[in-house]
Amino acid sequence: MSTVLIIGAGGVGSVTAHKCAMNAGVFTKIHLASRTIEKPSAIKKDIKKRWGVNIQTHVVDANKSKEVAALIRKTKPSVVINVALPYQDLAIMDACLATVVHYVDTANYEPRDVAHFEYSWQWKYHDRFKKKGIMAILGAGFDPGVTNAYCAYILKKYFDKVRFVDILDANAGSHDKSFATNFNPEINIREVTQAVKHWRKGKGKGTWVKTPAVMNKDSVHFTFNYPIAGPKESYLLFHEEMESLAKNLLGLERMRFWMTFSENYLTHLRVMENIGITRIDSVDYEGKKIVPIQFLKKLLPDPASLATKYTGKTVIGCIVTGVKGKKESTKYIYNVCDHAKCFKEVGSQAISYTAGVPPVIAAMMILQGKWKGAGVFNVEELDPESFLKALAKNGLPHKIINYKPLPAHLGQ
Ligand code: NDP
């Protein structure tokens, strides 16, 4: 008998709520809260229709820790799943500390006025969570999240130590819009317009090697032949799981993250950047202050709305080279997810699905006592086996094949 409180009812939150309802034996009471009531209400209706489960809906401003704490006291959850925006992470963690409730999220904290995300702010909560005897699981989406578990699983099953990791994320799907982002436009554009870095072991400690941003003409990219999806241009990008993996995968020598982008997507992005509409500072417009990227978000399609016409697949996984005894080998572990199949199952596209299912499984791991501990954790620090097994049962299976390392010179 466990109650869950989900905060955020966008593309990802909808999948999370559906999957909790599909696991009603674990999540016996489900509460869904968001900034306004419209999205939770629509999800509640759909969940009742598809799964015959009644969920409770609420309004909360998750920027306000006290408001979140009051909602937690009212709904009495065993775990809070935060699938709102990264800006709210710290306020929700504070509320979990105040009410002594476990916490799970899918994206690391980012201050609204600086386009910069890193774990340091949330890692600082470790001692306070530890003292209260509760867990905070950070970045438990697909990437970050499942990709962290993939690395931990490959290390545990095949190697004594890992040498190289390449994480590859392909969306080989298509929708009917000329430009749209697959998750929250503001967060997505902030992520892909940033400077790129990847990790290499230098002399002594590792270093972050900087390369040009994705849409820059000098960006680092190559064609990777994805299983099922085929050859796709893949761009070097900084992604948050690298920060924790660099710390937790001892002995690591090189780690890179690659994401596919179409030329059409990059061209739109370049134009938007050039005309200043991706700016995150406020500008005066006829006596009113507006933040261009927030205005842009209003104009762009809601990522959840892409689901109806989305076809094709996502292929996300890790190529991991490691050593067992004296023998070196390389494994490729990945998941293939079909947009149309996700839509049929829960009414969402595959990006929302791959991000929305894992936090449910992470919460399940805590509630079933498969993940134990007190403090703040990244996914690779916890048992990957039970997590990946439950994930496979809940729509995200993986495949492992023998592979070869990607060329070392890429990004050098
Ligand atoms: P959406 O913008 O679609 O949804 C965000 C939800 O949070 C909306 O319901 C929104 O309400 C609500 N919200 C925003 N501000 C507040 C607030 N102050 N208080 C309460 N609720 C609020 O985003 P997505 O669903 O696309 O993404 C959700 C999260 O998932 C993001 O943090 C994103 O980075 C993460 N993500 C993680 C991935 C992974 O693999 N790890 C992949 C994809 C996404 P409203 O719409 O009314 O503003």
pLDDT tens readout for residues 75-96: 999 999 999 999 999 999 999 9
**Mean pLDDT of the 171-177 span:** 91
Range scoring the smallest mean pLDDT among 37-46, 260-269, 392-401: 260-269
pLDDT tens readout for residues 124-151: 999 999 999 999 999 999 999 999 999 9
- Which CATH number does 146-346+398-402 carry? 3.30.360.10
Question: In the chain, where are the structural domains located?
Answer: 2-138, 146-346+398-402
- Of 172, 173, 264, nearest in space to 225 by CA: 172
Pocket of ligand 1 (CB under 6 A): 7-13, 34-36, 39, 60-63, 83-86, 88, 106-107, 141-145, 183-184, 187, 303-304, 351, 355
Q: Does the pLDDT at position 1 exceed 80?
A: no
Helix 38-51 × helix 11-22 angle, to 10°: 30
User: What are the tokens at 38?
Assistant: 């419209």
Taking the CA of residue 13 as reference, the ligand 1 atom at the shortest distance is 25
Under the banding of pLDDT at 50, 70 and 90, the label for residue 356 is very high
Count of C-beta atoms within a 10 Å radius of residue 263: 8
182 within 8 A of 355, measured Cβ to Cβ = no
Choice from 35, 244, 305, 380 to test ligand 1 binding pocket (greatest atom count within 8 A of CB)? 35
> Whose C-alpha lies nearest to ligand 1, atom 44?
183
> Whose C-alpha lies nearest to ligand 1, atom 45?
35
Choice from 32, 65, 85 to test ligand 1 binding pocket (greatest atom count within 8 A of CB)? 85
- Is the whole model's pTM more than 0.75, yes or no? yes
**Mean pLDDT of the 342-368 span:** 97
**Mean pLDDT of the 316-345 span:** 98
Answer yes or no: CATH 3.30.1330.60 is held by domain 2-138: no
- Cα of 88 to ligand 1 centre, how many Å? 10
- Cα of 187 to ligand 1 centre, how many Å? 9
pLDDT tens readout for residues 196-221: 999 998 766 789 999 999 989 899 99
User: What are the tokens at 340?
Assistant: 């149309």
- Cα of 111 to ligand 1 centre, how many Å? 15
Q: Which amino acid is at 123?
A: W
**Mean pLDDT of the 233-251 span:** 95
